[in-house]
Amino acid sequence: MISTPLAQQLREAGLRWTPVSGDAFQVANTEFEGDVFTVSDMTIEAHTYDTGTILGFNGTTEWALDSVALEDAVWLPREDQLRDMLGPAFVMLEREDAGRAIDYKVTVTVGDDTATFVSEDAAESYGMALLALLRSLR
């Protein structure tokens, strides 16, 4: 799972989210800092109205949270979703033993250049690559 700061940067760079079952998100509110929620047909459903999308929390009468507007949620895309969003810009993923840790290198084509993004988490590497791609499209 990508870090919250990277997810926020992706959102600010223009990444849009249409919630589907299995998606992870956080509420952009310090009261729920660190809590990760998952969209599910049973517990958290996306409801789309003319005025926007809300994430409804089913069966949560004991909570102070019944629903949250989509714009108040920060999507934490999965590794496969990030890779798919890179589309034809994606070149390769490499796994490298860096001694005490394993690094994951994602290489993408951004404009006329090739760039590599490295992290100990493959999803984070994909996320950094997508962020660069989104920023290049501005």
pTM of the model: 0.83
> What integer pLDDT is reported at residue 31 of this predicted model?
77
Counting the structural domains of the chain, the total is: 2
Q: What is the CATH number of the domain that holds 95?
A: 3.30.160
3 domain residue, yes or no: no
Sheet strand arrangement including 113-119: 90-97, 102-110, 113-119
* Cβ atoms within 10 Å, residue 39: 19
Expressed as residue numbers, the domain containing 44 is 18-76
Q: At 18, which amino acid appears?
A: T
- Considering the domain architecture, whether residues 99 and 129 belong to the same structural domain is answered as yes
- Considering the domain architecture, whether residues 69 and 117 belong to the same structural domain is answered as no
- Considering the domain architecture, whether residues 41 and 86 belong to the same structural domain is answered as no
Res. 62 pLDDT band, cuts 50 70 90: very low
60 domain residue, yes or no: yes
Q: How far is CA 66 from CA 7, 17, 115, 134, in A?
A: 23, 20, 43, 33
- Considering the domain architecture, whether residues 64 and 96 belong to the same structural domain is answered as no
- Considering the domain architecture, whether residues 66 and 92 belong to the same structural domain is answered as no
9 domain residue, yes or no: no
- Considering the domain architecture, whether residues 85 and 119 belong to the same structural domain is answered as yes
- Considering the domain architecture, whether residues 69 and 24 belong to the same structural domain is answered as yes
- Considering the domain architecture, whether residues 65 and 110 belong to the same structural domain is answered as no
> What integer pLDDT is reported at residue 64 of this predicted model?
53
CB-based contact 25:2 (threshold 8 Å): no
- Considering the domain architecture, whether residues 126 and 89 belong to the same structural domain is answered as yes
> What integer pLDDT is reported at residue 61 of this predicted model?
46
CA distance 67 to 89: 36
- Considering the domain architecture, whether residues 85 and 57 belong to the same structural domain is answered as no
pLDDT single digits (tens) 73-125: 999 999 999 999 999 999 999 999 978 889 999 999 988 999 999 999 999 99
Average pLDDT of the chain is 88
CA distance 47 to 71: 13
**In which region does residue 44 sit, left (phi positive, over 0), alpha (psi from -120 to 50) or beta (all else)?**
beta
